[in-house]
Structure 1
Amino acid sequence: MKIVRELKGWLNAYDKVKSATEELQLAFDFVKEGIVSEEEVDANYAKATELIENLELKNMLRREEDQLGAVLKINAGAGGTESQDWASMLFRMYQRWCEDKGYKTTVTNWQDGDDAGIKTATLQVEGDTAYGFLKSENGVHRLVRVSPYNAQGKRMTSFASVFVVPLVDDSIEVFVNPANISWDTFRSSGAGGQNVNKVETGVRLHYIYKDPDTGEEQEIVIENTESRSQMGNRENAMRLLKSQLYEIELEKRRAAQAEIEAGKKKIEWGSQIRSYVFDDRRVKDHRTNYQTSDVNGVMDGDLDDFIKAYLMEFGGEA
C-alpha cells in the first residue's frame, strides 16, 4: 500500500504539471487574439513554474529515509544565556514551519536554560517527507545581534546546533539488543518548567551501541518526558533509539559511498551552515549562498526557499 500511495503521489504531481502547462499554452494563444490579458498569462506561467519546481523538488526526495518523519534536536552552544535564548528561537522557528506544513509535532525532551531559553530540546515531527525536507537543517546556526542580555548593548555572536534524524516507522526494521539497554527515571516537567510531576515519569535510556565492523562502542542516551506515564515515555524512547540507530546505519552507507563528509563539526566559528544577522536584516546559507532580508519571516518559519535551494543543489547526494 505504501508503494501504491507513493506512485499515486507521483502521478498526481505529474497530472498537475501537465494541466498547468496546457492552460499556459491556451492562455498564450488567447492573449494574441486579445481574449485574455497579459496578467493572466503571467499568472498561468507562475503557476506552471511553481508546479514544475515542486515536481523537481519531489525528485530530490527519492531516498527511502526521505519519506519518513523526523526527530529534530537543538543544542545551545557556548555562550550562556544568549546562546540558550538563540536555541529557543530556533526551536520556535521549526515549530512554526511544521505547523504551516500540517505536520504533527511532539516535544519529547526539554531542558530550560539557566536564565532564559533552552539548553536542549527535541521535537518529534510526524508526516510524509518531513525528514527529506528537514535534513537540510543539520548543522550549526549562527546568530549575530545586539544582545538584550548585555548591559553595554554590544553586538554578540551565538551558536546553536541542529541535529535531524529520520523517525522510523513500522516499515523500517532496526535491531536493538535488549542486553545493552539500561534505564533511569526522573521527575519531568513540561516546556518552560511547567507542571512538575511529583512522581518519576521521565525516563533516560542508556544504550551501548557496538559497531559491527570496527567493534568500537559508543553510548547513546535518550531522555523522554512527553507522556505523563512512565510506560508511555519508555515506548517513545525506544522509538527514538531506533531512529538514532537507523541514522547510524544510513551514515555508514553514505560514508562508504563517499557522499558525505566524515566527522562532526564543533559549535564554533567557521563551522556554521547559516548565519542570521539581525541588525543587517540578512539570513544567509553558506552552503548554497541563498540569502534573504526577510529576517522576521524566516524566524516565523518561512524556510521553504532555503530548503529548496539546498535540495536542488545537494538533494541527489544528501
Structure 2
Amino acid sequence: MTHAAASSHPFRILREAGPLPVELARPVIAIGNFDGVHRGHRAVIGTAIDQARSLGRPALALTFEPHPRAFFRPEEPMFRLTPDPMKLRRLAETGLDGAVVLPFDAALAGLEAEAFVADLLVGRLGVSMVVAGYDFHFGKGRGGSPIYLREAGKRHGFPVEIVPPLLDEGAQISSSVIRAALAQGRVEQATHMLGAPWAVEAEVIHGDKRGRELGYPTANMRLDPAVTLAHGIYAVTVDIDGIAHKGVASFGRRPTFDDGAPRLESFIFDFTGDLYGRVLTVAFHAYLRPELKFDSIDALIAQMDIDSARARAALA
C-alpha cells in the first residue's frame, strides 16, 4: 500500500476535551486501540491518510488510554505491545497529522453507541470521514459494530470505510496473535506482523554486577510485570542516542543464581560507557534458546560465548 507524502505539520497529540484546533478541523479519523501499531493497524491508518489527502483534510488517529481491557479487567495484567508514549511515537511515524487520546473511563465506557457517534465523532470532532478496522466495536456493551458505524455515518452525513483483516500467511494479524507469538519466543513472527521488531523501553538499573565479573557487563532493566515474553536468550539491538548497537540479551529469572523477579539483561557488543539511569530501547530480533540452569560458572561463560556468536550471526 502506498500513501501520499506525510504532512508537513508537526504531529499533534490532543488529550483535552473541546473542539479541535482550526488546522485539524473536519478530519478524517482512523479509529482504534492501535496497540502495537502493527501492519493491520497501518492498513487502517494508511487508508485514512490516503482519503484525507484526496479530500484536502487532516488525518487523525482516535485512540484510548488506558486500553479498554485494562479498564474493564483491572485485576488482569495487560501486556501492552506499545505503552502510550511508544504507541504515539509509532503513530507519528505513519504520516498522520495527530492523535486524539481519549481517557477510557466510566463515562466513556457508559456512552451508548449512538451518543458516541453523535456527541463525540460529530459534535466534538466534526469528522469528515471515519476509517475503522473490521473488528472495531464501540459504545456501551460494545453495542456499536462496523455495520452500525456505517449506518450511523449515513444518518449523520459522513462516509465510513471499514478495512478488511490483513492476513499474514493466511492468519489474521492482530495484537493478541502477536502477544501469543512473543509469549512463545516467536519473535520473527511478531516482527513480520508488526512490520518492525518488537521493542521495549525502560530505565537501566543497578544489578548485582555479576555480568561484569563474568566478562559480560550488562544493562539491566525491569520490564512491566504484564510482559509475557518467553524467558530465554535473544539477539537484540539497543538504541543508544539514536544508534542501534547489536547485542545479546537474557530475559528471565537467572536460575543459575537467584531465580528472582524477571529482568532483562543486555550485553552490548563493542560498547563501553555508563548507562545507569538512561532510558533505552531494546528491540528483539531472534530467539536463541530457552533460559537454562548451569552447574558451574565456567559452563555458563562457555554458553554465553556461544550465545554471543549466535547473536552476532543472527544480526549480521
| Structure 1 and Structure 2 fold alike (TM over 0.5) | no
TM range (shorter): under 0.3
Instruction: Report the TM-score, using the length of structure 1 for normalisation.
Output: 0.26
**Which one has the bigger helix percentage?**
1
